[in-house]
Amino acid sequence: MNWLLLIIGGFFETGFAISLGKAQHTSGKQMGLWLASFGVCVAISMFLLFKAMGGEKAIPVGTAYAVWGAIGAIGTVVAGVVLFHEPVTFWRMFFLSSLILSVIGLQVVST
Cα 89 to Cα 57: distance, rounded to the nearest angstrom: 39
How far, in Å, CA of 111 to CA of 26, rounded? Answer: 46
3-state secondary structure of 53: coil
Q: What is the pLDDT of residues 93-102, one digit of tens each?
A: 999 999 999 8
pLDDT of residue 3: 92
Per-residue pLDDT tens digits for 40-68: 999 999 999 999 999 888 998 988 998 99
Residue 106 has pLDDT above 70, yes or no: yes
Residues 6+ apart with CB under 8 A from 66: 102, 103, 106
Instruction: Find, among 79, 19, 22, 80, the residue nearest to 44 by Cα.
Output: 19
Whether the CB-CB separation of 91 and 34 falls below 8 Å is answered with no
Q: How many domains does the chain have?
A: 1
How confident is residue 111, by pLDDT bands cut at 50, 70 and 90?
A: low
pTM of the model: 0.85
Q: What residue numbers bound the domain in which 101 lies? A: 2-109
What percentage of the chain has pLDDT greater than the value 70? 99
